[in-house]
Chain A
């Protein structure tokens, strides 16, 4: 969205109406980013229960949350974050498949061994998502305080 259009728009001035729409979208991006930590904490607790193999672990719910954020963050122009959530969803699905395979092989436990690389991959994906969410939030908050101080001048 804005990244590619900014690049493409450097050679020729964009019509005012396009710039107005982009300003609206930019303001929505900031507002959306401001609410991301709350959604991240929801997904974090879902993923952490999967990692801890607690009785509350719900792989389907965790993958649905990641799936939704993949589509939503990308539609708001957070391309890198969108891909990170897609990776997180894939990591959760991989664990679900592995658990199902061990169950079919006769295992009674619904947990993977702590040293299983799939769990490390899930932790790493979660950390990446969290870092990107924190960055987007900081940028959005910084943007808002910049706007506030310039409107006060």
Chain B
């Protein structure tokens, strides 16, 4: 699939900033940012991104809950969602993929290779 628009969701401003640089300059994609699950749902609904990067641990609405809400919306149900977490254990990856995630990216990540990691996960999903 060809990626043009990416929505990146994380409550940590520093993570959003480094992701934005990576996805914009390395990936050459148009990037939308959201700082919470609630904001993610609004932005996704408005911008219809090709892929969503979603942090697992966020206050208010966490990543898995946001993912479930996205899956309930018929207009967003098919948008691939990649979860990002610092706790990548096999059972958690299995749990997230069973919830409908296209894959999991571990934190910390390398901003120079993040876009290729996203492409790899989407190709194997």
> Which A residues have a C-beta under 8 Å from some C-beta of B?
1, 5, 18, 20-22, 24-25, 28, 32, 35, 64, 67-68, 70-76, 79, 82
| Total number of residue pairs linking A and B with CB closer than 8 Å | 56
B residues in contact (CB < 8 Å) with A: 12, 14-15, 17-18, 21, 25-26, 57, 86, 107-112
Q: Which chain A residues lie closer than 8 Å to B107 at the CB level? A: 70-72, 74-75
Centre residue among B17, B18, B86, B107 by max chain A CB count within 10 A: B86
Q: Which residues on the A side are within 8 Å of B112 (C-beta)?
A: 1, 5, 18, 21-22, 25
Q: Give 19 A-B contacts (CB < 8 Å), ordered by A residue.
A: A5-B112, A18-B112, A21-B112, A22-B112, A24-B21, A32-B18, A67-B86, A70-B107, A70-B108, A71-B107, A72-B15, A73-B108, A74-B107, A74-B108, A75-B14, A75-B15, A75-B108, A75-B110, A82-B108
* B-side interface mostly: loop
Question: Do B21 and A25 touch (CB < 8 A)?
Answer: yes
